[in-house]
């Protein structure tokens, strides 16, 4: 099925500035923006709730333990219960800008501009991983932590037995980082090519495909899904185009959809739909199957 725009957040309810993060969880869409707000939408992009989470940009949000977590350039990490969106808790306060939060397997991972990844369990720091670059993107899956900025994607591993953390692989590339099935996807340093690597320590994360000039301008957002052995990737960026790819020994472009905005975030719903956010707070629901 070709990509088809199904609905759009209204001009009166949308964010005032660029979308920075989107999460679809429990049949609701959560959005964050440079306007400092977090908004909650139903699957058809009708506004349900909103809070002024930070006085400035909300760089990232994540959900876990029935809470939503946010981080900002104000140096705070905060959380709110999903069933009481207006009960705020401060998880961390630092001088550094906090770029990324990610929840995985009962733990909250927090990345900042000094290159530190702090790991929290029940609001208590249980580990610190030091990376040699600011953490613009951060993804934790099992014992593997992926971090990226604009030169390298760094893959680190937590060893539960020794409680040590160390670098497994460093690959030239940049944020955003996306894992789809058995594949690790991210842009090249130019920001225009898409690189696909095997997401396997055994294979040393070898490259399996590359799509040169996948977009005319820098890629800002990647997400994907797998169905058995079949894997699909969705990409968007400053060229105002959403693209759908089939992942194999090469990337095959299946469809593209133009927008009237630059794309800054993409997430997948649960009914064959994508949610696409971009400049000036616009959010779209796009049917992909």
Output the domain CATH number for residue 81.
2.130.10.10
Looking at the structure, tell me whether residues 1 and 79 fall in a common domain. no
Looking at the structure, tell me whether residues 59 and 98 fall in a common domain. yes
Please classify residue 66 by burial: count the beta carbons closer than 10 Å to its beta carbon, then call 0-12 exposed, 13-18 middle and 19+ buried: exposed
Q: For residue 5, is it within any domain?
A: yes
Looking at the structure, tell me whether residues 158 and 71 fall in a common domain. yes
Q: How many domains does the chain have?
A: 2
Looking at the structure, tell me whether residues 39 and 57 fall in a common domain. no
Q: What is the pLDDT of residue 224?
A: 96
Looking at the structure, tell me whether residues 260 and 218 fall in a common domain. yes
Looking at the structure, tell me whether residues 4 and 91 fall in a common domain. no
Q: Which residue in 231, 222, 227, 228 sits closest to 268, CA to CA?
A: 222
Looking at the structure, tell me whether residues 170 and 102 fall in a common domain. yes
Q: For residue 182, is it within any domain?
A: no
Q: Going residue by residue through the chain (289 aa), what tens digit of pLDDT does each one get? A: 689 999 999 999 999 999 999 999 999 999 999 999 999 999 999 999 999 999 999 999 999 999 999 999 999 999 999 998 889 999 999 998 999 999 999 999 999 999 999 999 988 999 999 998 899 999 999 999 999 999 999 999 987 655 678 899 999 999 999 999 999 999 999 999 999 999 999 999 999 999 999 999 999 999 999 988 899 999 999 999 999 999 999 999 999 999 999 999 999 999 899 999 999 999 999 999 8
Buried/exposed 36-56: b ≥16 CB within 10 Å, e otherwise? bbbbbbebebeeeeebebbee
Let me know: does 71 contact 101? Beta carbons within 8 Å. yes
Let me know: does 17 contact 25? Beta carbons within 8 Å. no
Q: What is the pLDDT of residue 125?
A: 92
Q: For residue 181, is it within any domain?
A: no
How much is the pTM?
0.96
Domain end (from 175, 205, 226): 175
Looking at the structure, tell me whether residues 283 and 262 fall in a common domain. yes
Adjacency order of strands within the sheet including 28-33: 19-25, 28-33, 37-42, 47-52
Q: What is the pLDDT of residue 161?
A: 59
Looking at the structure, tell me whether residues 35 and 58 fall in a common domain. no
Q: Which residue in 184, 189, 236 sits closest to 215, CA to CA?
A: 236
Q: What is the pLDDT of residue 228?
A: 86
Looking at the structure, tell me whether residues 132 and 243 fall in a common domain. no
Q: What is the pLDDT of residue 133?
A: 87
Domain end (from 150, 175, 200): 175
Q: For residue 259, is it within any domain?
A: yes
As given in the structure block, the two tokens for residue 202 are 């055994």
Q: For residue 10, is it within any domain?
A: yes
Looking at the structure, tell me whether residues 73 and 163 fall in a common domain. yes
Let me know: does 134 contact 145? Beta carbons within 8 Å. no
Looking at the structure, tell me whether residues 93 and 132 fall in a common domain. yes
Q: For residue 133, is it within any domain?
A: yes
Domain end (from 128, 150, 175): 175
Q: What is the pLDDT of residue 163?
A: 64
Q: For residue 188, is it within any domain?
A: no
Radius of gyration of the chain (CA): 18
Question: Which residue segment(s) compose the domain that 237 sits in?
Answer: 1-47+213-289
Q: What is the pLDDT of residue 96?
A: 87
Q: What is the pLDDT of residue 164?
A: 78
Q: What is the pLDDT of residue 162?
A: 52
Q: For residue 161, is it within any domain?
A: yes
Compute the distance between CA of residue 35 and CA of residue 53 in angstroms, rounded to an integer.
9
């Amino acid at each position: 099925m070709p990509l088809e725009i199904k609905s759009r957040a209204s001009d009166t309810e949308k964010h005032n500035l660029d979308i920075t993060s989107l999460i679809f969880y429990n049949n609701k869409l959560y959005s964050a923006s440079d306007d400092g707000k977090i908004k909650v939408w139903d699957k058809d992009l009708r506004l349900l709730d909103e809070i002024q989470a930070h006085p400035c940009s909300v760089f990232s949000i994540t959900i876990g333990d029935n809470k939503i977590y946010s981080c900002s350039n104000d140096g705070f990490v905060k959380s709110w219960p999903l069933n009481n969106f207006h009960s705020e808790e401060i998880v961390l306060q630092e001088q550094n800008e906090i770029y990324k939060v990610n929840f995985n397997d009962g733990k909250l991972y927090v990345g900042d501009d000094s290159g530190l990844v702090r790991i929290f369990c029940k609001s208590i720091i249980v580990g610190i991983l030091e990376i040699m670059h600011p953490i613009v993107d951060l993804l934790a899956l099992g014992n593997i932590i992926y971090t990226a900025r604009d030169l390298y994607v760094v893959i680190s591993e937590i060893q539960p037995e020794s409680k040590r953390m160390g670098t497994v692989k460093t690959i030239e590339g940049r944020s955003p980082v996306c894992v789809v099935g058995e594949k690790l996807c991210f842009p090249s340093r130019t920001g225009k090519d898409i690189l696909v690597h095997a997401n396997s320590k055994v294979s040393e994360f070898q490259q399996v495909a590359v799509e040169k000039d996948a977009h005319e301008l820098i890629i800002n957002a990647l997400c994907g899904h797998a169905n058995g052995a079949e894997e699909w990737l969705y990409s968007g960026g400053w060229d105002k185009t959403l693209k759908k790819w089939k992942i194999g020994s090469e990337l095959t472009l299946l469809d593209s959809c133009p927008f009237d905005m630059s794309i800054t975030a993409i997430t997948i719903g649960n009914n064959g739909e994508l949610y696409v956010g971009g400049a000036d707070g616009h959010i779209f629901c796009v049917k992909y199957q």
